[in-house]
A and B are shown apart, each in its own frame.
Chain A
Amino acid sequence: MPDGGTIAAGAVLDVRGLKTTFRTRGGEVHAVNSVSFQLQRGEILGVVGESGSGKSVTMMSLIRLLPSPPAQIGPGQVWLDGQDLLQIDAEALRKVRGPKVGFVFQDPMTSLNPVFTVGSQIMEPLRRHMGLDRAGARRRAGELLDLVGIPDAARRLDDYPHQFSGGMRQRVMIAIALACEPDVLIADEPTTALDVTIQAQIIDLVKRLQKQLGMGVIWITHDLGVIAGIAQRVMVMYAGQIVEHGPVTEVFRAPQHPYTRALLKTVPSLTGRRAARLQVIEGQPPILMAAPVACSFRDRCAHAFGRCAQENPERRPVDDKQLGFGHDVACHWEAPHD
């Protein structure tokens, strides 16, 4: 069990002080900087942030999916089912990928192997981890395809990925990720490459399956509307750090971090006065060549003051709950109550 602090009852995943750096020719890039969070059993945790904020890298670091080199995962701890995933050997890690943690990737068009049938790709983890024989795995693969809502599932097992549309392929990806009934499902922008109606179907599908199977789901997106519709808690990431975290209703009602506030303002509104232009956050997220010693957002922040350039803000609770369980923010500036 992890030392120091306690795991809340029901937490399936406990990440502590995770860092990931990339060794590139231009120097070290600090992509993930001391990220800590927990995932409860049966909840959907949303992760938002703009491109390059470290959302995907953080989640891929959890099961060490990043190629190393150049990636260097750690220091930090990733506790799942009594073991630290950053310490276990390749063989033990293999038994986590699939049976404990399922992963759905962003681009369904390229994430399936083009030369194998969809059936054989779903059967692979079933045979490897669940000890099923060919016939059993095939039957189960048919059930899974049916579960994710692919019509005529048993017959489509023998089709190749290119015979499926993008939305259908993402359903296949979900079927693969769910094949071994994992405790944790990580969905890395699963609907970004899909059109809006298909997106809604996929979201409904994951919500339904999550209730049915009782998994913890981490849903990465840069679409705040999706988060509002699906997640109970949300984590806002910027420059590889969690800048704000809390229950979705709290964070959306009273955003504390200037970045979160700016993000929420960028969402176009259907009601009220018609804005002349879409709101944008000026500037680019920084590429960190060293561990942050000051606030990474200060150059784009309207509220920055002297302290922001001298000290990287720590996460602090904004309600009376323990850090990590309620609403917290990493910012020196105190948002006014409104």
Chain B
Amino acid sequence: MFVFTLRRLLLAIPTLLVISLVIYLLVDFAPGSPMSEIPLTVPPEVRQKMIAALGADQPVLVRYLLWLRQFFWVEPAYLIDGWFGTHLAGDEQRILSWQSRSPVFTIIGQRIPQTLTVVGTAYLVGALIAIPIGIYSAYRQYSWFDQLGTLFAMIGFSVPTFFTGTLFIIIFAVELGWFPTKYDTMLNVTDWSSFLTQLRQMTLPVMTLGLANAAAISRYMRSSMLDNLGQDYVRTARAKGEPERTVVLKHVLRNSLIPVVTVIALGIPSIFGGAIITENLFGVNGIGAALILAIHASDLPMVQTLTFIFAALIVLFNLIADILYGLLDPRIRYD
């Protein structure tokens, strides 16, 4: 298992390098200029100077290599300096956002907690609701509970979050007044009452995203359970005099969880990607919102860095899913 993990990690290096180059070229070739938001009254020669000041007039390969150096050497050095008070980085140039001129990683550091609390909670809640629903739906296939679950999953699957989110705002915030319409990013949780406020303002975005997540995961869970409920070993467990609870929640569930856990692990990088639409709808200033802003402003360093982080997370969680698979299924051993 250790050798397998090490080999996969080493293999990830060329993969990520290729991914980073492709992303860089794609973002660079995309139409738009970092000066597109500068007023038209600014004369062309000044414009030219501003572009030069950003370094955006350099050949694309040079800029890519510089970015690589900044991403893999300078930024980690700053991170270590920040933790241990060392001076590894010296006064090296960090990756700066062209929009705000502040380091990209500072912006990410500010935004990631917002995204993780809302989108991460939604994912967790979605998975925790979906698994029992999937189990019971499969066990009582075609019962009214299963039909209701299918309907619920179909709605969660097919209705976009901008619709469900708006609907929830109208019903629960405007009509009933139970929850606020907007998410207040400035709220600091310091005591019980501010914690309750935080919970209240999280509820609607978490419900919106959780519905979509639960819909997908409950379907996976259901079909995986159905696959296993018909297996011969289930009959063996019943013939041993095991109660239905043990048959379903031990024998069948353990086997059914193998593919579902993999699917859940593979979905985790999407949490870090944020939920662009939902974040915008509720005013959560998360990573998704930051990415959209950066794309609009042709903020190449920001877009490049964020996209690359998502790519790295996807590679990482693919590996984690494979390792989990090996741990859950004794038939799979990576030696």
A94-B241, A94-B243, A128-B241 are known contacts. Are A176 and B236 too (CB-CB below 8 A)? yes
Nearest-Cβ distance from residue B94 to partner chain A, whole angstroms: 49
When distances are taken between beta carbons in the complex, the residues of chain A under 8 Å from B254 are 113, 115-116
CB 8 Å contact bits of A156-178 with B (1 = contact, 0 = none): 00001010000000000100110
Expressed in whole angstroms, the Cα–Cα distance for A97 and B330 within the complex equals 28
Please classify how large the interface on chain A is, using the bins under 10, 10 to 19, 20 to 34, 35 or more. 20 to 34
Nearest-Cβ distance from residue A158 to partner chain B, whole angstroms: 11
CB 8 Å contact bits of A71-113 with B (1 = contact, 0 = none): 0000000000000000000100011111100110101001111
A124 to B, closest residue via Cβ: B240
B238: CB under 8 A from chain A? yes
B330 touches A110 (CB 8 A): no
When distances are taken between beta carbons in the complex, the residues of chain A under 8 Å from B235 are 65, 105, 111
Expressed in whole angstroms, the Cα–Cα distance for A180 and B258 within the complex equals 31
Expressed in whole angstroms, the Cα–Cα distance for A107 and B328 within the complex equals 24
B234 to A, closest residue via Cβ: A113
A298: CB under 8 A from chain B? no
A125: CB under 8 A from chain B? yes
A63 to B, closest residue via Cβ: B239
Q: Which of A63, A95, A110, A128 contacts B233 (CB 8 A)?
A: A110
A16: CB under 8 A from chain B? no
B235 to A, closest residue via Cβ: A65
B231: CB under 8 A from chain A? yes
Nearest-Cβ distance from residue B45 to partner chain A, whole angstroms: 71
B329 touches A115 (CB 8 A): yes
A129 touches B241 (CB 8 A): yes
Q: Which of B238, B241, B331 has the most CB of A within 10 A?
A: B241
A94-B243, A129-B241 are known contacts. Are A111 and B255 too (CB-CB below 8 A)? no
Nearest-Cβ distance from residue B324 to partner chain A, whole angstroms: 13
Q: Which of B236, B243, B328 contacts A115 (CB 8 A)?
A: B328
When distances are taken between beta carbons in the complex, the residues of chain A under 8 Å from B239 are 63, 65, 97-98, 102-103, 105, 177
Q: Which of B241, B251, B255, B330 contacts A96 (CB 8 A)?
A: B241
Q: Which of A90, A112, A129, A180 contacts B236 (CB 8 A)?
A: A112
A268: CB under 8 A from chain B? no
B: number of interface residues (CB 8 Å): 21
A112 touches B240 (CB 8 A): no
When distances are taken between beta carbons in the complex, the residues of chain B under 8 Å from A111 are 232-233, 235-236
A114: CB under 8 A from chain B? yes
B81: CB under 8 A from chain A? no
When distances are taken between beta carbons in the complex, the residues of chain B under 8 Å from A105 are 232, 235-236, 239
B229 to A, closest residue via Cβ: A67
When distances are taken between beta carbons in the complex, the residues of chain B under 8 Å from A176 are 236, 240
When distances are taken between beta carbons in the complex, the residues of chain B under 8 Å from A180 are 241
Nearest-Cβ distance from residue A134 to partner chain B, whole angstroms: 16
Q: Which of A65, A99, A115 has the most CB of B within 10 A?
A: A115
Expressed in whole angstroms, the Cα–Cα distance for A116 and B331 within the complex equals 10
When distances are taken between beta carbons in the complex, the residues of chain A under 8 Å from B331 are 114, 160, 162
B244 to A, closest residue via Cβ: A90
A90 to B, closest residue via Cβ: B244
Expressed in whole angstroms, the Cα–Cα distance for A128 and B243 within the complex equals 10
Q: Which of B233, B237, B238, B244 contacts A114 (CB 8 A)?
A: B233
A176 to B, closest residue via Cβ: B240
Expressed in whole angstroms, the Cα–Cα distance for A111 and B242 within the complex equals 15
Interface residues of B in 64-115 (CB under 8 A from A): none
B255 touches A115 (CB 8 A): yes
Nearest-Cβ distance from residue A163 to partner chain B, whole angstroms: 9
A162 to B, closest residue via Cβ: B331
Interface residues of A in 123-153 (CB under 8 A from B): 124-125, 128-129
When distances are taken between beta carbons in the complex, the residues of chain B under 8 Å from A179 are 240
When distances are taken between beta carbons in the complex, the residues of chain A under 8 Å from B236 are 103, 105, 111-113, 173, 176
Provide a sorted-by-A list of 24 A–B residue pairs whose CB atoms are within 8 angstroms: A63-B239, A65-B239, A94-B242, A97-B240, A98-B241, A105-B235, A107-B232, A110-B231, A110-B232, A111-B235, A111-B236, A112-B233, A113-B233, A113-B251, A114-B255, A114-B330, A115-B328, A115-B330, A125-B240, A128-B241, A128-B242, A162-B330, A162-B331, A176-B240
Cβ-closest 8 pairs across A and B: A98-B241, A97-B241, A103-B239, A110-B232, A113-B233, A160-B330, A111-B232, A125-B240
Q: What is B's interface to A at a CB cutoff of 8 Å?
A: 231-233, 235-244, 251, 254-255, 258, 328-331
Task: Known pairs A103-B236, A111-B236, A125-B241; list 6 more (Cβ under 8 Å).
Answer: A96-B241, A97-B239, A97-B240, A113-B255, A114-B330, A115-B328
